[in-house]
């Protein structure tokens, strides 16, 4: 008589291995519960309703993970941005914060109480290594000092801006060809290739030529894959993705492969740069410190920096600069295509301030010429408000904290600054909160940018963790916007499903198919 439980001997996982996996998963679950029981909970009034015993809000979260921003924003608007908490199996409780006054306290006045958690660093560590966004204490101070020294005003003018100008001219030529051929193209893909092209040359000194090759580069594929699969860890319980990583299966295997290919590309460039720097120093030439990219600047440091640290610092710049800048530009172009009044007003300002656009097919504005463009800055700020490139900024409450309005946040919970929801609060931005209106950031009488707008825009943060690369980001944004909007009108193909994917940044889920015509 056959046994009621039959096992195919050809299966790659035997009963012993399966039992080990189940024990391991159970251990992670119990660890999650024990960690929670050891910490205090937030006030019960903060939690969303319909919590299920043991599971908390886990099932509701899982059912809505595909529409994460819509779901979380809905709860935020119901409370007018006041904090609310989620109770999730195997994770620390999460308090979502959307009010500007709470951002100010967490990022500035009480910033010492809020740190980057070990769990967040653990989630990103395989991909990003020692990243300034994930660090605390002396490590964070060291990395911030390095980044500040790399992105000086002199560096922006002398070696970063020329790279951006060169890439912007290539982008203009590509759009000219699309305009002449009346081609429909994916603006999302084009801009992401542009920003990766730009930041790889700034950081690594390598020309990928993505805009002109017509093909995807292996590094581009690996980098995007690593981004996406790392973000999946946020919506996956630790006790699931860690065993998968240990077993090297599924998405964790794909992540390991992507990181491996990405690292091989970066490390090879670092080794080449080390040889060049060493030979220049040995030849004792006076110009051996003339550097054109971040790698050579770091390696020229007389104190010496390990190649692994160079990799982490360069990747920090790539991750922070490439994706956030691309996402901002794509959402801005999407908004302009739906708001021709804003597009025309922006074009008028650009052509008034930079008439050379009318005279030359190869003109790209200089660093100095893009400084006085109030309507453009307001348009960028409005894009940050509705489409923040980093929609969620995670922190961890290190000690019991009481906010000014009396909200109690206990030690041990995660605190998510929800920028996406903050930009949609009518109590902060007015009745036309969902309208794309750059004028809300301008003085009605003078037309100048408001120094103290009704609500601050938190795209670059504030306090000690104010974004180091904000000036670089603004240079690239302004140069691209000035060139594209001055030369072309943007027309979005109708009937598209335009929404963000759940990712580390506010990346569009689908292609953004557009056409451009010469703006005569």
Q: How far apart are the first and last CA of the chain?
A: 85
Q: With contact defined as beta carbons under 8 Å apart, do 211 and 171 qualify?
A: yes
Helices and strands (DSSP H and E) totals, the chain:
21, 10
Sheet of strand 488-492: strand arrangement: 185-186, 513-518, 488-492
Instruction: Select from 171, 231, 230, 194 the least CA-distant residue to 322.
Output: 194
Instruction: Select from 449, 457, 465, 379 the least CA-distant residue to 422.
Output: 457
CA atoms within 13 A on the CB side of 444: 1
Q: Are strands 94-97 and 414-418 parallel, antiparallel or unpaired?
A: parallel
380/478 Cα distance (integer angstroms) = 9
Question: Which position has the token pair 């924003």?
Answer: 73
Torsion of CA 194, 391, 512, 261, to 10 degrees: 50
| Rg from Cα positions in the chain | 25
Strands (E), 266-413: 392-397, 401-402, 408-409
Q: What sign for the dihedral angle of Cα 161, 153, 192, 381?
A: negative
Q: With contact defined as beta carbons under 8 Å apart, do 98 and 425 qualify?
A: yes
Q: What share of the chain is helix, strand, coil (3-state, %, to 5)?
A: 60, 10, 35
180/187 Cα distance (integer angstroms) = 16
Longest dimension (CA), the chain: 92
CA atoms within 13 A on the CB side of 186: 14
Residue 467 counted as an annotated binding residue: yes
Please give the angle made by the CA atoms of 290, 294 and 300, to the nearest 5 degrees.
50
Instruction: Select from 429, 336, 416, 473 the least CA-distant residue to 92.
Output: 416
Which helix (H) or strand (E) element contains residue 192? helix 187-204
Strand partners, 418: 392
Tokens of 433: 């909160």
Residues whose CB falls within 8 Å of the CB of residue 177, separated by 6 or more in sequence, listed in order: 183
311/314 Cα distance (integer angstroms) = 5
Rounded to 10 deg, the angle between the 187-204 and 324-338 helix axes is: 150
**Binding site, annotated residues:** 467
**Binding site, annotated residues for heme:** 467
């Amino acid at each position: 008589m056959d046994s009621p439980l039959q096992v195919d001997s050809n299966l790659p996982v035997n009963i012993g291995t399966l039992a080990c996996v189940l024990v391991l998963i159970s251990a992670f679950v119990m660890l999650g519960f024990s960690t929670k029981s050891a910490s205090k909970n937030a006030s019960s009034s903060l939690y969303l309703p319909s919590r299920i015993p043991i599971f908390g809000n886990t099932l509701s979260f899982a059912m809505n993970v595909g529409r994460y921003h819509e779901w979380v924003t809905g709860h935020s608007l119901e409370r007018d941005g006041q904090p609310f908490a989620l109770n999730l199996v195997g994770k620390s409780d999460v308090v979502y914060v959307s009010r500007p006054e709470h951002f100010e306290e967490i990022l500035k006045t009480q910033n010492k109480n809020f740190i980057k958690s070990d769990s967040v660093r653990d989630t990103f560590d395989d991909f990003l290594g020692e990243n300034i966004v994930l660090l605390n204490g002396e490590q964070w101070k060291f990395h911030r000092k390095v980044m500040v020294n790399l992105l000086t005003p002199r560096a922006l003018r002398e070696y970063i801006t020329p790279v951006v100008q060169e890439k912007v001219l290539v982008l203009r030529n590509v759009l000219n060809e699309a305009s002449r051929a009346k081609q429909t193209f994916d603006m999302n893909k084009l801009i992401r290739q542009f920003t990766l092209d730009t930041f790889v040359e700034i950081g690594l000194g390598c020309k990928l030529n993505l805009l002109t090759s017509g093909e995807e580069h292996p590094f581009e594929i690996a980098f995007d894959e690593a981004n996406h699969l790392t973000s999946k860890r946020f919506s996956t319980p630790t006790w699931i993705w860690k065993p998968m990583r240990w077993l090297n299966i599924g998405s964790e295997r794909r992540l390991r492969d992507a990181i491996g290919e990405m690292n091989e590309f970066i490390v090879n460039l670092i080794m080449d740069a080390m040889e060049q720097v060493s030979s220049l120093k040995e030849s004792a030439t006076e110009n051996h410190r003339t550097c054109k990219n971040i790698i050579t600047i770091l390696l020229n440091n007389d104190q010496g920096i390990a190649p692994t640290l160079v990799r982490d610092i360069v990747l920090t710049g790539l991750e922070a600069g490439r994706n956030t800048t691309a996402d901002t530009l794509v959402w801005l172009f999407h908004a302009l295509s739906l708001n021709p009044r804003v597009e025309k007003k922006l074009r008028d300002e650009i052509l008034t301030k930079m008439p050379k656009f009318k005279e030359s097919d190869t003109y790209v504005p200089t660093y100095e010429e893009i400084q006085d463009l109030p309507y453009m800055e307001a348009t960028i700020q409005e894009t940050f408000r509705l489409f923040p490139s980093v929609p969620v900024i995670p922190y961890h409450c290190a000690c019991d904290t009481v906010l000014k309005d009396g909200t109690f946040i206990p030690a041990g919970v995660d605190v998510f600054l929800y920028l996406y929801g903050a930009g949609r609060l009518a109590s902060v931005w007015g009745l036309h909160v969902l309208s794309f209106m750059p004028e809300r950031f301008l003085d009605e009488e003078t037309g100048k940018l408001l120094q103290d707008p009704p609500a601050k825009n938190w795209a670059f943060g504030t306090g000690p963790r104010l974004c180091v690369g904000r000036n670089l980001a603004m240079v690239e944004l302004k140069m691209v916007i000035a060139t594209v909007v001055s030369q072309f009108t943007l027309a979005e193909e109708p009937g598209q499903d335009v929404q963000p994917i759940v990712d580390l940044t506010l990346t569009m889920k689908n292609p953004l198919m557009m056409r451009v015509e010469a703006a005569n």
